[in-house]
């Protein structure tokens, strides 16, 4: 809905700025030290800071205008861009006053556009109102948590990756390209050493083709659902803690996985996330209900068939990037 703000306030000002006469060709740029952003003088909000014809704008009204533009631009409009923002408002006001003098507000074109923009503003206000007033209670959030507890499992694991031919993982320097059969055989041999008591971290450092985690003894840190490729995730969230997995095939090669711990996030930890999700779903449902209850007739011949249905909420594409502690490169 922020796009409405751009359409109704920021865009006209930008357009006006773009319509100013072009300056003379610029001289070659010189290197200079940029001055610090100016600090706005502190004045009471009722102080008149701008007068355009008979119209006066106070500091409070000017600040409110800045509040109406997208958040990412506000700091600039209050510092380095403050005067330019005021210049654009002056252009807007001068042109609007002249348009009133010419009675352009009585033209059909103006009335049609005003009606459309008025509806845009009303729709924006409704959406903001729904976001503010549509909130799930604790009981609903807790019920969702209990039903989806498995989604909040956290796993701490290590792995050793044996690269197979065709993998996107770079081949180690001076290493031989292994076929699928050779990679699987090597993975099975390493697993046997681990089962017989070899140290996982030591073998990960010497044999893993995942350079990122291998340097840390195969440590992948802690991760939740949806962070690993499906084949890896299925095993990591199911094998007993401390057990060495059989070789797990993915598009990167063969993984040998050891889960060091597995625990659920508590309701207190995930409650804000759940509430954001459910609140958004309630807002969407309210808007969908409004649309479905309205009397709407579309000429299919003119508009064409409906667009294909979007994937169900919560569905996600396979994820191929695997996490590392301290933002280290992901294993593949």
Q: pLDDT tens digit string along 55-64?
A: 999 999 999 9
In DSSP terms, 177 is beta-bridged to none
In this predicted model, which residue has the larger pLDDT, 67 or 329? Answer: 67
CA atoms of 252 and 160, how far apart (whole Å): 12
In a domain, 218, yes or no: yes
Residue 86 has pLDDT above 80, yes or no: yes
Per-residue model confidence (pLDDT) at position 68: 87
Cα–Cα distances (Å) from 94 to 6, 16, 21, 98, 318, in that order, read: 20, 11, 17, 6, 55
Domain match, 323 and 192 both: yes
Per-residue model confidence (pLDDT) at position 38: 59
- For 261-300, the pLDDT digits (tens) are 999 889 999 999 999 999 999 999 999 999 999 998 999 9
Domain match, 102 and 182 both: no
Per-residue model confidence (pLDDT) at position 81: 92
CATH number of the domain enclosing 165: 3.10.50.40
Task: For residue 211, count other CB atoms closer than 10 A to its CB.
Answer: 15
Averaged pLDDT for residues 79-86: 93
Per-residue model confidence (pLDDT) at position 175: 86
Domain match, 157 and 220 both: yes
Domain match, 190 and 323 both: yes
Query: Considering 102, 131, 160, which residue would you say is the last residue of a domain?
Result: 131
CA atoms of 303 and 199, how far apart (whole Å): 65
Query: Considering 79, 103, 131, which residue would you say is the last residue of a domain?
Result: 131
Domain match, 187 and 323 both: yes
Residue 104 has pLDDT above 90, yes or no: yes
Query: Considering 101, 131, 161, which residue would you say is the last residue of a domain?
Result: 131
In a domain, 9, yes or no: yes
Using the structure block, give the residue that is written with the tokens 């800045």: 66
Domain match, 7 and 118 both: yes
Nearest alpha carbon to residue 70 among 132, 126, 14, 117:
14
In a domain, 293, yes or no: no
In a domain, 190, yes or no: yes
Q: How many domains does the chain have?
A: 2
- Mean pLDDT check: name the lowest of 18-27, 150-159, 202-211: 18-27
CA atoms of 284 and 109, how far apart (whole Å): 33
Domain match, 87 and 54 both: yes
In a domain, 286, yes or no: no
In this predicted model, which residue has the larger pLDDT, 330 or 98? Answer: 98
Domain match, 112 and 160 both: no
Strands (E) across 83-166 are located at 153-163
For 161, list phi and psi in degrees, rounded to 5. Answer: -105, 130
**82-83-86 Cα angle (round to 5):** 90
Query: Mapped to the 3 state alphabet, what secondary structure does the chain carry?
Result: CHHHHHHHHHHHHHHHHHCCCCCCCCCCCCCCCCCCCCCCCCCCCCCEEEEECCEEEEHHHHHHHHHCCCHHHHHHHHCCCHHHHHHHHHHHHHHHHHHHHCCHHHCHHHHHHHHHHHHHHHHHHHHHHHHHHCCCCHHHHHHHHHHCHHHHEEEEEEEEEEECCCCCCCCCCCCCCCCHHHHHHHHHHHHHHHHCCCCHHHHHHHHCCCHHHHCCCCEEEEECCCCCCHHHHHHHCCCCCCCECCCEEECCEEEEEEEEEEEECCHHHHHHHHHHHHHHHHHHHHHHHHHHHCCCCCCHHHHCCCCCCCCCCCCCCCCCCCCCHHHCCCCC
In a domain, 145, yes or no: no
Domain match, 45 and 162 both: no
- Environment class of residue 181 by beta-carbon count within 10 Å: exposed (0-12), middle (13-18) or buried (19+)? exposed
Task: With beta carbons less than 8 A apart as the criterion, state whether 137 and 186 touch.
Answer: no
| E strand or H helix at 257 | strand 253-264
Domain match, 191 and 323 both: yes
Nearest alpha carbon to residue 224 among 276, 283, 265:
265
Domain match, 160 and 86 both: no
- Considering the entire predicted model, what is its pTM? 0.57
Per-residue model confidence (pLDDT) at position 192: 97
Domain match, 116 and 168 both: no
In a domain, 83, yes or no: yes
Nearest alpha carbon to residue 45 among 35, 55, 59:
59
Give the residue numbers spanning the domain of 127: 2-18+40-131
In a domain, 48, yes or no: yes
């Amino acid at each position: 809905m922020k796009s409405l703000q751009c359409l109704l306030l920021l865009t006209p000002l930008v357009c006006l700025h773009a319509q100013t006469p072009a300056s003379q060709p610029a001289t070659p740029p010189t290197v200079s030290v940029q001055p610090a952003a100016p600090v706005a003088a502190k004045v009471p909000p009722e102080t008149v800071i701008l007068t355009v014809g008979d119209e006066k704008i106070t500091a409070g009204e000017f600040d409110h205008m800045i509040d109406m533009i997208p958040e990412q631009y506000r700091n600039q409009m209050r510092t380095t861009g403050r005067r330019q923002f005021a210049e654009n408002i002056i252009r807007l006001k001068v042109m609007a006053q002249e348009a009133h003098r010419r009675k352009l507000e009585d033209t059909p074109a103006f009335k049609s556009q005003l009606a459309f923009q008025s509806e845009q503003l009303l729709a924006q206000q409704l959406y903001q109102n729904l976001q503010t007033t549509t909130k799930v209670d604790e009981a609903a959030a807790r019920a969702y948590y209990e039903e989806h507890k498995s989604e909040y499992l956290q796993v701490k694991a290590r792995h050793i990756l044996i690269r197979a031919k065709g993998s996107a993982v770079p081949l180690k320097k001076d290493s031989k390209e292994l076929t699928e059969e050779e990679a699987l055989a090597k993975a099975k041999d390493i697993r046997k050493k681990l089962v017989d008591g070899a140290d996982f971290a030591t073998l990960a450092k010497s044999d893993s083709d995942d350079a990122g985690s291998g340097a840390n003894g195969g440590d992948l840190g802690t991760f939740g659902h949806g962070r690993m490729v499906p084949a890896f995730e299925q095993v990591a969230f199911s094998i007993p803690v401390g057990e060495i997995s059989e070789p797990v095939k993915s598009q990167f090669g063969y993984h040998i996985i050891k889960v060091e711990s597995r625990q659920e996030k508590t309701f207190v930890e995930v409650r804000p996330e759940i509430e954001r999700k459910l609140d958004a779903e309630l807002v969407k449902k309210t808007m969908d209900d409004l649309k479905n209850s309205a009397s709407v007739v579309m000429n299919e011949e003119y508009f064409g068939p409906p667009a294909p249905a979007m994937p169900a909420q919560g569905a996600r594409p396979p994820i191929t990037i695997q996490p590392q502690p301290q933002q280290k490169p992901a294993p593949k």
